[in-house]
A and B are shown apart, each in its own frame.
Chain A
């Protein structure tokens, strides 16, 4: 109980750890306009850390118009979000071919960091057959960091659809 009682003193607002083979599945199977995703540090001033440490997080959608997968790490002004994939951890998309969009530091004044570290650690867009789009924005409107190290992999799946990585997309940003 010590950790709980003390956690309001200087702790992050939210911490989620997926470790040692643990798994989280986020799936939307609606016929259209269905989204599956996560946000780390969402609202103004929020702090959050998602650690995938030898575990797995999967985002899936079924087939349908405008269906898609997404994540935001640091969304609104004053947020500080971090996504860590390490020790063979995996973050991946799946299901039918739809769209994927990831943002590190989405809006002005936000902070978003993503680290993919170590052999076997992966972030990959792995959708079903068909055309889809995938994009990862590093510093869409603000200064954010993406670090890939020690054998870590980021694979946006350059398939039949469009895939892209953008660094510093908006005005005044620094990706």
Chain B
């Protein structure tokens, strides 16, 4: 079953069972359209939310160009990925970027928002820069710009995967917290996991915890 068929099935099931307001993929506020917008933003200029759950069956959101959660100053974005079979996939074959920004964005003045991502109960966030050659690959930036706030909670068997196994670039893959703003991240409970895996020569698999300035220099290990 392809993703379109899968989502259609989920929607029909939800309608038939009267759970249309709760099932599958639910968005509120200033949030892009899942599985339509290639760069998916939740809470861009104003508050917004996205919930991906498994009511009615598996639900997958794909955004080939990455995504952002809580971008502009005063905006709060909240993403909840809840349950085994619920997933947000960014990048992948044919994509042009695989970065997820949680709280603010360094590429835009005034982007000092608040972002929260909850990955729980077996849900998954997958960041994969396959087939790409962008400068920096497969990254999650938490609290990227000065004045922003970002939080990533991985609990109750939640999974976060960052990978660039087929990328031809050499920059690496990683989790960066407190890049300019404030970052909180939690990986709690059995089965809860963040996996940062690169398969490319010269790559750096990394996580930074507290990084005062925005980094654009080539990554160095020492």
Contact = CB atoms under 8 A, between A and B. Distances in A.
A37 B212 contact: no
Given A4-B149, A24-B193, A43-B212, A15 B185 contact: yes
Contacts of A17: 185-188
A73 B41 CA distance: 33
Contacts of B151: 3-4, 7
**Residues of B contacting A: mostly:** strand
A35 B221 contact: yes
A42 B192 contact: no
B12 interface: no
Nearest to A12: B210
Contacts of A162: none
Contacts of B130: none
B152 to A, nearest CB: 9
Interface residues of B, number: 49
A48 B178 contact: yes
Interface stretch (A25-33, A121-129, A153-161, A167-175): A25-33
Interface of A: 1, 3-5, 7-8, 11-50, 55, 64, 68, 70, 79, 81, 101
Interface of B: 76, 114, 116, 142-143, 147, 149, 151, 154, 165, 174, 177-178, 181-213, 215, 221-222
Given A26-B197, A38-B208, A46-B212, 12 more contacts: A4-B76, A14-B178, A17-B188, A22-B193, A23-B192, A25-B195, A28-B197, A28-B205, A41-B209, A46-B210, A48-B209, A81-B209
